[in-house]
Amino acid sequence: MQAHELATPYPTVTMDTNALEAARLLTEHGRPGLIVVDEHQHPIAILPGSQVLRMLVPRYVQDDPALARVLDESHADRMCDALADRTVRDLLPKERVKLPVVAPDDTVLEIAAIMAANRSPLVAVVEERSKTAALSGAISAAQLLGRILPVS
Amino acid sequence: MQAHELATPYPTVTMDTNALEAARLLTEHGRPGLIVVDEHQHPIAILPGSQVLRMLVPRYVQDDPALARVLDESHADRMCDALADRTVRDLLPKERVKLPVVAPDDTVLEIAAIMAANRSPLVAVVEERSKTAALSGAISAAQLLGRILPVS
């Protein structure tokens, strides 16, 4: 079994995707993050859902979450205004979350080793063994385990 | 809106859960990790799927994933033998992955602030404001965003 047989579609954004659209994609797909691709569809980073939330929380509340108590419910309703004029570029953390990339002919054991070494719940699968190849899908740790586990 | 209204069930294990059973739970639920609870059902850690995979990969392949190429497919079939005699205790990384905990009456903004500050895609919700309270569910970043986003 090789990576290209295991890869499944995964929601992507570019650096220029509107932040509100990225938030909607996260919600629709129920994933912990989105894959950020460049203009050639090559995967370059993960946008974690927690970073989108970060943009919604005022700086003084980020520094002291207890201060959230003093803000009323109406603030929560306006939280998403902060996203409308931003893009994914603004949401990405300074320290980028690495997304390991595997080639289409990588084996189950190679994929498992790469996920374990990177402590990543996800790997991106690209179309060919090249540093600029386009994304063809992704494999999660849970999916990979499902293929390895003996049938009970 | 408060945490107890947002919490949904989440798969849990204890330190003594068999590693193979934990792997099956991850696969069934398709989650990036499992919540580890103590004997009082209080959440104490996250078991990431990537740590379960780590146990399946021989040490020399972890150190150099390229070596996975030299192992044949039959090895992959036997990979799960490594799990049968282990427990969750053996799978947890030395540096525990922190799972932020919120109280049932925490607000949307408080939950968002805690997720953002901890860069966590998940928070555990406990039954009462106490350091030993039992788990009542969990909230993911995607779920929380879904409650905050304006209806399009």
| Spatial CB neighbours of B1, under 8 Å, sequence gap ≥ 6 | A73, A76, B107, B108, B147
Asked if pLDDT for residue B108 goes beyond 70, the answer is yes
Q: How many CA atoms lie within 13 A of B130 on its CB side?
A: 10
Q: Residue range A37-54: average pLDDT?
A: 94
Residue B70 — very low, low, confident or very high, per pLDDT cuts 50/70/90? confident
Length of chain B: 152
Q: Chain A partners of B107 at a C-beta cutoff of 8 Å? A: 68-69, 73, 76
Chain B nearest-CA residue for A56:
B112
Q: Chain B partners of A3 at a C-beta cutoff of 8 Å? A: none
Residue B149 — very low, low, confident or very high, per pLDDT cuts 50/70/90? confident
The closest alpha carbon to A151, from B49, B88, B27, belongs to B27
Do residue A116 and residue B50 have CB atoms under 8 angstroms apart?
yes
State which amino acid sits at residue A142. Answer: A
Residue A138 — very low, low, confident or very high, per pLDDT cuts 50/70/90? very high
B29, B71, B145 ranked by CB distance to A26: nearest: B145
- Tokens representing A27 are 């919600």
What does chain B look like in DSSP terms, one character per residue? -BHHHH-B---EE-TTSBHHHHHHHHHHHT-SEEEEE-TTS-EEEEEEHHHHHHHHS-HHHHH-GGGGGGS-HHHHHHTTHHHHT-BHHHHS-SSPBP--EE-TT-BHHHHHHHHHHHT-SEEEEESSSSTTPPEEEEEEHHHHHHHHSPP-
Q: Chain A partners of B62 at a C-beta cutoff of 8 Å? A: 113, 116-117
The closest alpha carbon to B106, from B116, B114, B98, belongs to B114
CB-based contact A36:A43 (threshold 8 Å):
yes
Beta bridge partners, B125, equal B102, B137
Tell me the nearest-neighbour CA distance from B52 into chain A, angstroms. Answer: 8
Q: Say how far apart CA A64 and CA A123 lie, in whole Å.
A: 34
Tell me the nearest-neighbour CA distance from A127 into chain B, angstroms. Answer: 19
| Spatial CB neighbours of A20, under 8 Å, sequence gap ≥ 6 | A80, A83, A84, B149
Q: Chain A partners of B117 at a C-beta cutoff of 8 Å? A: 62, 65
A137-A92-A29 Cα angle (round to 5): 40
Do residue B146 and residue A27 have CB atoms under 8 angstroms apart?
yes
Q: pLDDT value at position A73?
A: 64
A48, A140, A145 ranked by CB distance to B23: nearest: A145
Q: Chain A partners of B29 at a C-beta cutoff of 8 Å? A: 142
Asked if pLDDT for residue B74 goes beyond 90, the answer is no
What average pLDDT does the structure give for chain B?
89
Q: pLDDT value at position A83?
A: 86
Chain A nearest-CA residue for B114:
A65
Top pLDDT among A63 and B107 is at B107
Tell me the nearest-neighbour CA distance from B41 into chain A, angstroms. Answer: 24
Chain B nearest-CA residue for A110:
B68
> Could you tell me where the DSSP H helices lie in B30-80?
49-56, 59-63, 73-78
Do residue A27 and residue B145 have CB atoms under 8 angstroms apart?
yes
What does B73-91 look like in DSSP terms, one character per residue? HHHHHHTTHHHHT-BHHHH
A33, A79, A80 ranked by CB distance to B121: nearest: A33
Q: Say how far apart CA A149 and CA A107 lie, in whole Å.
A: 15
> Could you tell me where the DSSP H helices lie in B92-137?
108-118
Structure confidence by residue, pLDDT tens digits, A56-77: 888 888 888 778 777 766 676 6
| Least reliable range by pLDDT among A13-22, A76-85, B104-113 | A76-85
Asked if pLDDT for residue B73 goes beyond 70, the answer is no
Q: Chain B partners of A54 at a C-beta cutoff of 8 Å? A: 116
